[in-house]
Amino acid sequence: MRTPSDRPLRTDAARNRAAIVAAAQRAFAEHGLRVPFDEIARRAEVGEATVHRRFPDRESLIAAAFGDKMRAYADAAAEALAAPDAWQGFCGYVRRVCAMQSGDRGFADLLTITFAAANPAVEDLEHQRNTGYRDWLKIVRRAKAAGRLRPDFHPDDLVVLLMANAGVIAATAGEAPDAWRRHVEYLLQAFAADHTETLPAPPPRETLVRALQRTQRP
């Protein structure tokens, strides 16, 4: 038996839904995931009640807006893991994730947000995110085993990189939107195994996650 959410949408309802998702994608990219529903409704040219009717909670809207991007994130990790050269796979993955972040302020939020809603779209988003993260751990181990990545690199160092990258992106977006690329290349060189100076231990992951979330706020 079909539930109401399984039934095909009327043409006008489907059009409204597509407009809401497109408006949310633009708003999240510009301002992060905390954009108010009334702003998304204004951009979509629908009433706020229509947004809530189509998406009863923020997580459902986030899942609809970021489904394709999260699959791209998981695919990037899988491709990096399959790269013939472990170090090139590592570097290529870091570059791709930072490129995703450069065009979308909400993306880094998405990597650290905790979802409470339980529906198929949210569950798929979490599955893709978790799959990408597990592959990232393998990417790090593989690059270390190849002797190319410094042994004290920690997987959560990527969170610190994204925080730093967020600052560069925010400061240079209007005048030098590609400045982040040079910053990332500097850091990749620092991650290489021939840099042998010992690093301090990384902070606890939960503190990094909270810090990253703060850097993404408008």
H or E stretch covering 97: helix 86-102
Q: How confident is residue 167, by pLDDT bands cut at 50, 70 and 90?
A: confident
Mean per-residue pLDDT for 195-205? 69
Alpha helix (H) ranges present in 83-156?
A: 86-102, 105-112, 120-145
pLDDT in tens, 26-38: 999 988 888 999 9
CB 105 within 8 A of CB 216: yes
CA atoms within 13 A on the CB side of 128: 19
Q: How confident is residue 3, by pLDDT bands cut at 50, 70 and 90?
A: very low
* Residue 216 pLDDT greater than 60, yes or no: no
Residue 149 bridge partners (DSSP): 192
Average model confidence (pLDDT) across the chain: 87
Q: How many CB atoms lie within 10 A of CB 60?
A: 17
Structural domains in the chain, sorted by start:
8-56 (1.10.10), 66-215 (1.10.357)
Distance CA 120, CA 70 (A): 14
Distance CA 26, CA 29 (A): 5
Angle at 99 between CA 184 and CA 157, to 5 degrees: 45
* Residue 51 pLDDT greater than 60, yes or no: yes
What pTM value is reported for the model?
Answer: 0.80
Distance CA 10, CA 102 (A): 36
Mean per-residue pLDDT for 6-20? 79
Q: Look up residue 6 and give its two tokens.
A: 């399984």
pLDDT in tens, 68-118: 999 999 999 999 999 999 999 999 999 999 999 988 888 878 887 878 767
Residue 192 bridge partners (DSSP): 149
- C-alpha 106: how far from chain center: 7
